[in-house]
Chain A
Amino acid sequence: MGARPDAPLIGVLALQGGFAAHERALRCLGARVRQVRVPGDLEGLEGLVIPGGESTTMTLGIEREGLAQPLRQLVASGVRVLGSCAGLIMLDREHLGLMDIRAERNAFGRQIRSFETDLQLDGLEGGPLRAIFIRAPWIAQAGPAVQVLASVDGHPVAAREGEILAVAFHAELTDDLRLHRWLLKDGSLAGAAASNG
């Protein structure tokens, strides 16, 4: 089933990682989806997903393709962004610098420490979501403009800064589409008031 031609066009960074699951979730919600591999793919996007994957691989890919500056420009234009797991890392100060956070990589440990759990995000209607943490990071430090939406064992794992939502887990591996609905501006989360641009 194709999306309507006037449906929002969302880009999913597709250099490496779990981009297909995000694509599936967005298509389920009727969005048009474009895989992003080169700067030209950013043209006309109305939203962006930076998926999970290996952050080192993604960092090198962004460098190889010259995507860092074009990605920053797209985000500066005010589109909504969802980053999950490695996507959260890419958004932090030491990578794309789009959020005032510092991510701690593989913070929960190696794969055998990976886990799933029920997690309530501040302001997310409909109760907790099933959060899949895979070699996941957490947010070690967050600036004043950042609103932490959820924590695990005292460590922030979901945060919003303006139009950018970063989560350390994978909601796209479940059938819960609420975060993608938010990306499509169809659903609420805490932190809207904190957004001033």
Chain B
Amino acid sequence: MSQILSIENLAVTLQGDQRVIEDISLEVPEGEIVGIAGESGSGKSLTAAALLGLLPDRSQTSGHAWWRGGAEPRDLLTLDQRSWNRVRGREIAMVFQDATAALHPMLTVGTQITEHMRVHLQLSRRDARRRAVELLDRVRIPDPEASLRSYPHQFSGGMRQRVAIAAALACQPRLLIADEPTTALDVTVQAGILRLLEELRAETGLSVLFITHDLAVLAALTTQAYVFREGRVIESGATEELLFHPRHEYTKTLVAARPQADDWDEPEQVAR
């Protein structure tokens, strides 16, 4: 199976020689959901930022991030601003942890779903809105027509994340980076979002890089998983193998820290 994204020996240094990612290699097979687990500060969010060229100013990177989702393979770490704007949103999209913060409070949902469609796909206003209605319907937002004219604060937390996912999928990207998209939501809402992602993968062949600190979510959703710690990958492999037979001490403590193994079953059934 072909790898749509291969990260080779990624290292990131922030301003002031602060080395936050030491050495990360990672592969995302096409049409699969790959998980990254790790505690805060392990470098998982910065990896996502590096993949979209959204690292803080004056950060330095080394290594490669081979992207095969475009016309030809490219190293994401070497893109200039113009090329970035063709990759971002168009080929790789992102969903953030807190949809409340990630949606502009003063722009209508319609604008936020259609604005990049009009840039990337050169759609007319009408076509973009028609597609937005389909997208909102796809992520199960009730009354999509009316929702286009609403503002984010008029939706519940889970609905907001669905809107954010609709916006991310607007230009039919090949890869979706989801940075803890369910952490801010309560469990039942969380399950719905996970189910949606799995459906999207199955239907459209979307690849997903799913970042989480929740091992239950990892188990429910992903086939491959990477465990990050202090800017390094300390263990990787098939998710089930990783969680039930962890080899690394750190992974063991992570797994042991989960209250009950039974927890994992429920969202798993929901997701499949």
Q: Do A and B bind each other?
A: no
